[in-house]
Amino acid sequence: MNALTTMMLLPILGTLLLAVIPSDQVLRIKQAALATTLLVAISGVLTWFNFNAADTSYQFVQSVEWIPSFGINYAVGVDGLSLVLILMSVLLAPIVVLAGWKESEGGRWSAKVFYMLILVLETMMIGVFAATDVFLFYVIFEAMLIPVYFLIGGYGSGDRAAAAVKFLLYSLFGGLLMLASIIGLYVISGANGGHTFDINKLSELHNYMSPTTQNLLFLGFFIAFAIKAPLWPLHTWLPDAASSATPGTSVLLLGVLDKVGTFGMIRFCLTLFPDASKTFTPIIITLAVISIIYGAFLAIGATDIKRLIAYTSISHFGFITMGIFAMTTQGHSGATLYMFNHGFSTAALFIVAGWMAARRGSSTIADFGGLQRVTPVMAWSFFIAGMSSLALPGLSSFVSEFLVLVGTFTRYPVAAVIATFGIVLAALYILIPVQKALHGPTTPGNENLPDLNLREKIAIAPVMAIIIALGFYPSPLLNVINPASAHVLEVQGFTDPIPTEGAGK
């Protein structure tokens, strides 16, 4: 069976297994869910090792007729960009299950339902990055909302119902705009060779579109992806959702699902509408820079640790979007690497912050004073995750942020210079809460908080290892990302700027 289809089916089989386990056998349910995600992760790693980085075409391709009367197929395949994000997704899933061992407790429904939703979501995370049929992508893109909605609304905290509804409404609005553009592409394809949803065939249609048509169809896709990313000013659903969801759900939401937005900008906006992408690039670069600075200022003023992490992600997604629309190979490679690195640095922040909040009974930053003396392992884990988030040299995010800034500077120097100010702000929004939460006198009520147990140490260890290893040696990822990024730009007619300094010498 096709490797991608196998990865997508394994979580479904795990869901069926959970369905037959009695609801009162909670430990068996958790063990079955963890075993399933580990099996999927192993499958993803094997697929990674069997991938040919030098081949820039789609690999592990499978296409089966689904609704032939409309030209709709179950079609999957990966290039270097999508494979990196699938690997990130399948590695994070077992970490989320193990780290959030008690997250299903106290929810509206049973632990069985919680882990079934996680496994269904994992199938969709793989499928949305692997789909090469635009209709299939849209179906999965929208279907992902269902398990996330129930995970937030059923197992979250605070005003979880309102946060879940807000997330759903924003996402549905963007999805409807994208559907309108997909229908437009389908109609145009019928007049130029036959109705199809195949992304390779649709990528040739821009030659037959007027500039106005291409711009309108581009906006339908881009707005949907900007909401999902999220990009300013379409970001307001994120802080509510992230602060209300369980830490594990927040990891999947910000670490994986939001990457669908930035991935879609590359896979669909640039590929299907290259001319419109050039037209809107100055506006998008401006929005990205605003996101970087605005998200950073919001994070500096945050008093709730979950909201702080959500605000930092708005800033980080500004960097990713800027790298994508810089239209340079360095910017593209940096943006894709940033997606992967952000997934793990954000996972570490949310997981450790969740443990801190669960122990303290509060998510207010001021309540975590002096944790380094009481819970040194937990404190150091949060510190390393925070340093990665601010792109400290030697940790994973530094390489990707550096590539984004360099790639942007070669074409948009003013935007790159302003965005660099975001690095200064990052030091403030990370170091200030680190100082308040980890150092200083021990806040009353923290004296007897327990440090990480064995299960929690096992869960956070691989995340820390990836953050540190990729900070010193990012080549395994870049060797896969670089050819794919260069191919995307080359096929669509984008070229790197030619250096002019000293050209006449």
Residue type, 448: N
Predicted pLDDT at 1: 67
Print pLDDT tens along the chain (505 aa).
Answer: 688 899 999 999 999 999 999 888 888 999 999 999 999 999 999 999 999 888 888 889 898 888 888 888 899 999 888 999 999 999 999 999 998 888 877 778 888 889 999 999 999 999 999 999 999 999 999 999 899 889 888 887 778 888 888 888 888 888 899 999 999 888 888 777 778 888 888 888 877 888 898 899 999 999 999 988 888 888 888 888 888 888 888 888 888 888 888 999 998 988 888 888 888 999 999 999 999 999 888 888 888 888 888 888 888 889 999 999 988 888 889 999 999 998 898 888 888 888 888 888 877 887 887 788 888 888 888 888 888 888 888 888 888 888 999 889 888 889 989 988 888 888 888 888 888 777 777 788 777 888 888 988 999 999 999 999 998 888 889 998 988 888 888 877 777 777 655 444 4
Chain centroid offset of residue 299 CA: 19
Tell me how far apart the alpha carbons of residues 345 and 340 are, in angstroms, rounded to a whole number. Answer: 9
Q: Are 140 and 35 in contact (CB under 8 A)?
A: no
Chain centroid offset of residue 92 CA: 11
Tell me how far apart the alpha carbons of residues 362 and 460 are, in angstroms, rounded to a whole number. Answer: 21
Beta bridge partners of 198: 133
Query: CA-CA-CA-CA torsion for 479, 482, 485, 488, nearest 10 degrees?
Result: -90
DSSP, collapsed to helix, strand or coil, labels residue 46 as helix
Distances 144 to 12, 82, 231, 269, 372 between C-alpha atoms, Å: 14, 17, 19, 20, 38
Phi, psi of 499 (to 5 degrees): -60, 135
Predicted pLDDT at 503: 45
Predicted pLDDT at 135: 92
Cα–Cα–Cα angle for 82, 236, 218, rounded to 5 degrees: 50
Q: Are 56 and 79 in contact (CB under 8 A)?
A: yes
Cα–Cα–Cα angle for 204, 288, 180, rounded to 5 degrees: 40
pTM of the model: 0.90
- Per-residue pLDDT tens over the stretch 462-473: 999 999 999 888
Predicted pLDDT at 179: 92
Tokens of 58: 């789609």
Q: Are 114 and 58 in contact (CB under 8 A)?
A: no
Residue type, 69: S
Q: Are 262 and 317 in contact (CB under 8 A)?
A: yes
Residue 242: which residues within 8 A CB-CB, separation 6 or more? 250, 253, 254, 306, 307, 309, 310, 313, 350
Tell me how far apart the alpha carbons of residues 332 and 321 are, in angstroms, rounded to a whole number. Answer: 9
Phi, psi of 411 (to 5 degrees): -120, -35
Q: 496: which DSSP letter?
A: P
Beta bridge partners of 131: 76
Mutual orientation of helices 80-99 and 26-49 as an angle, nearest 10°? 160
